[in-house]
Structure 1
Amino acid sequence: MTTRLNKHIAETGFCSRREADRLIGERRVTVNGITAGAGAVVGEGDEVKLDGQPLRARAVVGKTGRRHVYIVLNKPVGITCTTESAVKGNIVDFVGHEQRIFPIGRLDKESEGLILLTSNGDIVNQILRAENRRQKEYLVAVNKPVTEEFLRGMARGVRIHGEMTLPCRTARIAKFGFRIVLEQGLNRQIRLMAAEFGYRVTQLRRVRIDNVKLGALRPGQWRNLTDAELRGLLPQHNEF
């Protein structure tokens, strides 16, 4: 059984697949003494070296000193929130983290903004649990001028997926734009709610989940969550 060389390097925990591709492109990686090229594969027993030194797995604990990975990504439009490697543009390959991570919840492919990813499967349900009523804030652009009637209707709740959405907060931020803060996360919720009033969403960006804010992250950038952000998200969880 063989594995692509960039994946093999990433799985050692040395670097991401993207970084591995760069190292391979710089001809710094050898397999069994032969300089590897793009698309190289390795099998069991093959010796991989970087700059002449054997490449071995590093300790799981990273620069943060944590057992697990917790990051926030500014997801660009076009990236799909799935761990399925067969899906082109899946979020795991896009981030290219050296550890195995997966998204907490999702953003539609055509939506952008803040999404959390982790290697800790034990905390996903804690964060997503509906009864925790976590606030999720979005900036939304639509195809028609935003009216007070529209905002009041969205805030009261709309019947989608056979149920009424929970009351939420809305505010006009531009002629064609508004802010909305939800405490639930139904599939395509904002798009379907707006459609009930004859509006079409043209841009949707999530900027906050509870105490975690998108801040200055540019599309495609990610960062580790701070200790304060983790404590806010997981007040009952002691091991990070």
Structure 2
Amino acid sequence: MERLQKVIAHAGIASRRKAEQLIIEGHVKVNGKTVKELGVKVSSSDRVEVSGIPLEQEEPVYFLLYKPRGVISSVQDDKGRKVVTDYLQHIEQRIYPIGRLDYDTSGLLLLTNDGEFANQLMHPKSEVEKVYIAKVKGIPSREKMRSLERGIKLDDGMTAPARAKLISMDKKKQTAIIELTIHEGRNRQVRRMFEAIGHPVMKLKRERYGFLNLHGLKAGEARELTTHEVKQLRVLAQKK
């Protein structure tokens, strides 16, 4: 079930804000009844009409993007900065990112127009692993690495148990490369975890999302997910 204005926007009829206006003004019908409330949710089996014209659902599409640094994980930016959909302008469907990567974070990002699929992957109970490679200031002690794995107390609560691995260190420059595997998706979580142990992130990249990786892609390149990959992700998201 998705909000009516979101369904209208995804069908390419209008922006979400314009879709809300169409609903309020009485131009939208669901199963033959005029709807003027913005809180209404519909499913794929509901018949939606806008100004008397039946809504055609877009064919669902799924993409994997190697997001470069300095790009916003959004479909538009009021400051005119580059957004992730700029790299998929040839796609006719109105796609959007599943979750987000920070402006300064690069790596694997999924995009789709399938709201149900996106919600499954972003649900708090979904335990799809995300693997990050972080370059941090200083060289964390074994105890600090263990604290990452046990869970870090952040301002929005304890993080779930994670896996942390020291990949390399530069004693002269006092920096370290660490692989961190988490399954949560809190805002700036990885950066905040490292800040909490006194080793702020200098550079961050998401290397893997579940079984998916960036092999064969350069920053700014994307590929469509296979049907099998989409099915596998659904299975992963449903595991508790």
TM bin, normalised by shorter chain, reads 0.5 to 0.7
SS of residue paired to 2:229: helix
Structure 2 partner of 1:101: 95
Structure 2 partner of 1:125: 119
State whether structure 2 residue 70 is matched by structure 1 residue 68: no
Structure 2 partner of 1:139: 133
Structure 1 partner of 2:217: 217
Mapped contact 2:126–2:236 kept (Cα < 8 A)? no
Structure 1 partner of 2:208: 208
Mapped contact 1:83–1:90 kept (Cα < 8 A)? yes
Take 1:123 and 1:168, find their aligned partners in 2: how far apart are those partners? 25
- Unmatched runs of 5 consecutive residues or more in structure 1: 1-10, 12-59, 62-66
CA drift of 1:123 comes to: 1.4
Letter in 2 for 1:79: V
Mapped contact 2:129–2:183 kept (Cα < 8 A)? yes
Take 1:195 and 1:74, find their aligned partners in 2: how far apart are those partners? 25
Take 1:236 and 1:180, find their aligned partners in 2: how far apart are those partners? 19
Take 1:213 and 1:221, find their aligned partners in 2: how far apart are those partners? 13
Mapped contact 2:191–2:200 kept (Cα < 8 A)? yes
Alignment of 1:153-172 (within 5 A): 153-172=147-166
Take 2:118 and 2:211, find their aligned partners in 1: how far apart are those partners? 16
**Residues 160 and 236 of structure 1: CA distance in aligned 2, closer, same or farther (over 3 Å):** closer
Structure 2 partner of 1:30: none
- Unmatched runs of 5 consecutive residues or more in structure 2: 1-11, 13-56, 170-175
Mapped contact 2:87–2:221 kept (Cα < 8 A)? no
SS of residue paired to 2:181: strand
Letter in 2 for 1:82: S
Alignment of 1:1-240 (within 5 A): 67-86=59-78, 87-96=80-89, 97-175=91-169, 176-235=176-235
TM-score between both structures, scaled by the size of structure 1: 0.68
Mapped contact 1:146–1:177 kept (Cα < 8 A)? no
Count of aligned residue pairs for this structure pair:
175
Take 1:229 and 1:131, find their aligned partners in 2: how far apart are those partners? 20
Take 2:194 and 2:141, find their aligned partners in 1: how far apart are those partners? 12
CA RMSD between the two structures = 2.2
Identity of aligned residues (%): 32
Per-residue Cα deviation, 1:92-117 (whole angstroms, up to 9, x for no partner):
22331332110000000000000000
Take 1:101 and 1:123, find their aligned partners in 2: how far apart are those partners? 12
TM-score between both structures, scaled by the size of structure 2: 0.68
Mapped contact 1:113–1:206 kept (Cα < 8 A)? yes
CA drift of 1:217 comes to: 1.1
Letter in 1 for 2:148: M
Structure 2 partner of 1:35: none
CA drift of 1:219 comes to: 0.5
Take 1:169 and 1:82, find their aligned partners in 2: how far apart are those partners? 29
Take 1:146 and 1:218, find their aligned partners in 2: how far apart are those partners? 30
Take 1:138 and 1:210, find their aligned partners in 2: how far apart are those partners? 12
Mapped contact 2:72–2:103 kept (Cα < 8 A)? yes
